[in-house]
Structure 1
Amino acid sequence: MDLEERVAALERRMAELEAAPPAPPVAEGDFWALDALKARHPVTQEADGGVLFTGAVRVPTGHHYEWQYGLLTETLFDDNWSEAAASFAALGNPVRLTLLRAILDGLRTAAELAALDDVGTTGQIYHHLRQLTGAGWLHSPQRGRFEIPAGRVVPLLVVLTAARPVT
């Protein structure tokens, strides 16, 4: 693609973004979770607030998960962020995300996962499953059988939510 085509594409994208409808107004009570977080950990001169994520979900298999987790902002800024790289790297592969989705949909064994389209050879699937297991996104309660740990279902959905374009 030459420079003129790239500039034209960028201009079209800018026009689309500028024509997008405005975000809906925020109504009383829309930020009930945020309001509760701020009541517990206010942002003041002495305190930096916090981050909270939570969810109550039913996955396609019918399993139900409820979970919440939060950290004070101070703790997050004191952490070594590079330690999260392996976890993000494990999720940064389309095949691995496909495998996680299939496992949430009810496929549990390596043989079932190998029958999926576009996930590669059995050896490649095992490589991806090892990466996800090593990063804590999967565990294997029995040989050749995989599950997403209950405490990772909502965080996985939170990460996927955070990766969506902001509208």
Structure 2
Amino acid sequence: MDLEQRVTELERRMAALVSGDRAVPPVGEGDFWALEGLKAQLAEAGAADGGVLFTGAVRLPTGERYEWQYGTLAERQLDADWAEAAESFAALGHPVRLRLLREISGGKRTAAELAALEEIGTTGQIYHHLRQLTGAGWLHTTGRGRYEVPPGRVVPLFVALATARP
């Protein structure tokens, strides 16, 4: 592929990202570099049943940057007790909690800032939701009345949200 074609393809992909277009790009050389790398590592490890890898590099509106990856073997996932994930998923299963996570990721970190938001509920309801998110590990406190998404949960949160979209 010559330079002009590569630039055109990059521009097309950037436009799709900016517009929020979730269409799958055409399959071609290099489109599945992460998958090909994972398959090569799985083959070296003799993992015939496969595995899963998710990764990301995120810069929040606050300027914080997070880079993270996680991989696991399919066999390990199939053998695990999936019920252990129920609390974590349940904490994400409420629109107000998802809004709180979005607002906290965007920089509103104090309970007072969160309470000032419209359509979020009473202070008592907000604290209830914050406790649920904290208990499930999606939030932690960084001081009196201050919350943040733990660094090791930023990319997994974005992955969970991305997989929840149709």
TM-score normalised by structure 2 residue count? 0.82
CA RMSD of aligned residues (A): 1.8
Q: How does 1:1-167 map to 2 (within 5 A)?
A: 24-42=25-43, 47-165=48-166
Q: Deviations over 1:28-60 (max 9, x none)?
A: 1100000000000139x9621110000011111
SS of corresponding position for 1:56: strand
Q: Deviations over 1:74-115 (max 9, x none)?
A: 100000111101000000100000000000110111010001
Instruction: Write out the 4+ residue segments of structure 1 that deviate beyond 4 Å after TM superposition.
Output: none
Structure 2 gap ranges (5+): 1-22
Cα separation, 1, equivalents of 2:24 and 2:65: 31
Amino acid at match of 1:93: H
SS of corresponding position for 1:70: strand
CA contact (8 A) 1:49 1:73 kept: yes
CA contact (8 A) 1:42 1:48 kept: no
Cα separation, 2, equivalents of 1:162 and 1:110: 29
Cα separation, 2, equivalents of 1:46 and 1:105: 39
TM-score normalised by structure 1 residue count? 0.82
* Structure with max Cα Rg: 1
Cα separation, 2, equivalents of 1:140 and 1:55: 24
Cα separation, 1, equivalents of 2:55 and 2:159: 8
The alignment of Structure 1 onto Structure 2 pairs a total of residues equal to 144
Structure 1 gap ranges (5+): 1-21
Q: Percent identity?
A: 71
